[in-house]
Amino acid sequence: MTQQQEKLSAFMDGEIEGNDIIDAIKNDEALQAKWKRYHVYRGAMRKEVSVAPQLDITASVAAALESEPAIVAPKRSRWSSIPLIGNVVPFAKQSGQFAVAASVAVAVIFGVQYTNQDSPAEPFMTAPTIAPQGGLAPVSLEQTRMLPRNDMNEVLEKKRKINALIADHEQQIKLKQAQEEEIETSEQQRP
């Protein structure tokens, strides 16, 4: 078992090549789980965690959605339009903000997959940081709690909502092509 773990690790690093280990992974559920976990760890360390496409979500909640009240369409006159010229420059200046949102997205997704709960007390920071390269430990829960902010929960909640939208956008793009294909096929089937 330990030998296989070593092999697995080496295989992941591209140090060995071989069908033995692939077969071993295929046949051994414990190894499969390990394989997945290793990748998640590494992905997280390298900030490469991607959005898990929870593909069945549309189907499973479709029925529930039918009973949802329709969202009221916005009326034009009530929109506060952004004065564009004034705003473009400041946004560009604080371009770090979006980067924070994106990196927080990674943290949130990570958290969801791990703890399977999405309480706002996620272990991430509110200030923009340069991610440490290499083997530095991720930010711990304690550090987050020490941040002296009263509106912490509110800020986190907002970020969570922003991230939910950004993550969803990315997932939709991933699935876009397949979707187009399905539509094409179904159109072809129709006479």
Within positions 113 to 142, which residues make up the interface with another protein, using CB under 8 A? 113, 118
Q: How far is the CB of 13 from another protein (least distance, A)?
A: 10
CA angle 42, 152, 123 (to 5 degrees): 20
- The stretch among 1-9, 121-129, 141-149, 175-183 that binds another protein (CB under 8 A) is 175-183
> Residue 168 has which token pair?
């969803």
Binding-residue pattern over the window 93 to 112 for another protein, x denoting contact by CB under 8 A: --x-xxx-xx-----xx--x
Q: What's 61's DSSP letter?
A: H
CB neighbour burial string for 166-191, b if at least 16 within 10 angstroms, e if fewer? bbeeebeeeeeeeeeeeeeeeeeeee
- The stretch among 2-10, 36-44, 121-129, 144-152 that binds another protein (CB under 8 A) is 36-44
- The answer to the question of residue 176 lying near another protein (CB under 8 A) is yes
Q: How far is the CB of 150 from another protein (least distance, A)?
A: 18
Q: How far is the CB of 122 from another protein (least distance, A)?
A: 11
